[in-house]
A = this chain, B = another copy of it.
Amino acid sequence: MVNPYDKANELAQVLKESSEFSELKNLHDQVNQDEVAKRMLDNFRNVQLELQQKQMQGEQITEEEIQQAQQQFELVQQHEVISKLMEAEQRMSQLITDINKAITQPLEELYGAGE
């Protein structure tokens, strides 16, 4: 019987060697080596984070804040490398989500059925 931990480590290794991961890493490095791009992305992420925290704490988010976030999003979208990085992050995030679904599927079956 194969040890689940061994198989998980194999998967981790495959992920690390995947095109999805190396694209993400390349774009991440490119942004980090470009001071302007890095500041732009950091600003965007900080604003996103602040809004998320407000939302979680049930605080009101103003029209103005939503507009500002939207404008910042459009700004970073126009930066080619940042926009590509965000797309690569989306693909990686989807990949992790799909992997988690595959892993937890037997549990979902167990807990979804026969209740």
What residues of chain A have their CB less than 8 Å away from a CB belonging to chain B? Answer: 1-5, 7-12, 14-21, 24-25, 28-29, 32, 58, 92, 95-96, 98-100, 102-107, 110-111, 114-115
Contacts and interface: CB of A to CB of B under 8 A. Distances in A.
Number of identical monomers bound together in the oligomeric complex:
2
A54 to B, nearest CB: 15
Nearest to A19: B1
A17 B7 CA distance: 12
A10 to B, nearest CB: 6
Q: Secondary structure at chain A's binding surface: helix, strand, loop or mixed?
A: helix
A44 B19 CA distance: 46
A43 to B, nearest CB: 14
7 contacts: A4-B99, A5-B99, A7-B10, A7-B15, A8-B103, A12-B106, A96-B103
Contacts of A103: 8, 11-12, 15, 96, 99
